[in-house]
Amino acid sequence: MIPGDLVRLAQWCKNGPALMEIVGEGYCTGRPHVLAIFLEGPQMGTIVDVYRGNLFRLEDYDEAMKQHYENR
């Protein structure tokens, strides 16, 4: 994921699902994070530090959610 990429925050996250745009590298150490801005929802316009494992490319989102809930 690089700045400018559009991604979707997983539905299991507090403010998900939501369309986001990657804007930079995150600050958390030990786990890969990125900075992303909400492009929809109540947090629209807010930039947050997000764990990459909670973000999915738009074309992969539906399949990722399906697999996640089938494996629970």
Q: Which residues pair with 8 in a beta bridge?
A: 19, 56
CA angle at 55 for the pair 52 and 56, rounded to the nearest 5°: 125
pTM: 0.88
Ordered by start, the domain boundaries in the chain are 6-70
pLDDT range class, residue 56, cuts 50, 70, 90: very high
Give the separation between CA 54 and CA 8, rounded to whole angstroms: 8
User: Has residue 62 got a pLDDT over 90?
Assistant: yes
Q: What is the pLDDT of residue 27?
A: 83
User: 25 or 30, which is more confident?
Assistant: 25
